[in-house]
Amino acid sequence: MLSQANLAADAAKLAGTLPPFPQVVLQLLDMLRDEDTSLEALARLARNDPVITSGILATANRIRRVHLQSEIYDPFIGASLIGVNQLRRIVVESALNKFLANQKGADFLLQHSRAVAIVAQELAALCGVSPEKAFVAGILHDIGQLCFHVLDADAFQEVYRLSAIDGRLLEHEAAIFGVDHAMLGGELTRHWGLPDDFVSAIAEHHDGTTVSSPLQAVINVAESLTRALDIPPSPKNRLTRLNAAAVHSLQIAWDSEEMRDCYGRCRARFRQAGF
């Protein structure tokens, strides 16, 4: 069992046992922090991975088919066509897919992380927050749950079973694992040296009152909105709390035309997600 008092040490030890996903993300986040990162550098990172390469080509060729153009097979040409932002999204989402590839029963976590990333990106674009940072933080927001799954998949499924009955996910996690997934995720991202706004976004994505940064507010609201929109569809999707302070800080008007358009885009993008 993990210990809240020794969580930094526990997280450091756990980080050494995880699959290689965090290293890919760290490279990507280094590039995100560098505004001068070139498309060529990102494409070079992507070219070494067949899953990422196929994602680039699939995305680029969807665009070309719309314009009745022939398909391409060179990933650098594809990356040039779709641009840096799309390439970053494909890299981080492919990394999550690989991280979970051998984790039996983790499909809902993958789908939920993708949904929160999409919703966070759409919200961020409306609220003056970097959409690309929001997408990456959304993909990472449940890294603590992924760690619980790696630690003890059976115990984690028991947490899910209990929380499906009463909605008390964090309490059941703390009872079984010693800490909840938000605490663990925040400590892991701190251990990996991610920026402070990423750490707070992950550590506080279930907090009902805190607003520590615009990115944290976006991820917090995106988590709730994803469940309200029921993407992916699941009986686990129950909206048990909404951080009113985060909603206010982002100046979200739920019944506005731009938000109604946002709901539709989120659902449509989730249906089309994946490669």
pLDDT of residue 275: 37
pLDDT of residue 194: 79
pLDDT of residue 191: 85
Upper half-sphere CA count for residue 29 (Cβ side, 13 Å): 23
Both tokens of 3, joined, read 């210990």
The set of residues, in sequence order, having a beta carbon less than 8 Å from that of 109 and lying 6+ positions away, is 100, 142, 145, 146, 149
List per-residue pLDDT tens for the chain, 275 residues long.
888 888 888 888 877 766 655 455 556 556 655 656 667 776 676 666 666 777 788 888 888 988 889 988 887 888 888 887 777 777 777 766 666 655 555 677 878 888 999 999 999 999 999 887 898 889 889 989 888 888 888 998 899 889 888 888 999 999 999 999 999 999 988 887 778 999 999 999 999 999 999 999 999 999 999 999 999 988 778 787 899 999 999 999 999 999 999 999 999 989 886 53
pLDDT of residue 47: 67
pLDDT of residue 140: 85
Separation in Å, CA 228 to CA 116, 136, 167:
11, 21, 14
Q: What are the chain's domains?
A: 1-18+105-275 (1.10.3210.10), 20-101 (no CATH)
Both tokens of 176, joined, read 């079984």
pLDDT of residue 101: 58
pLDDT of residue 239: 83
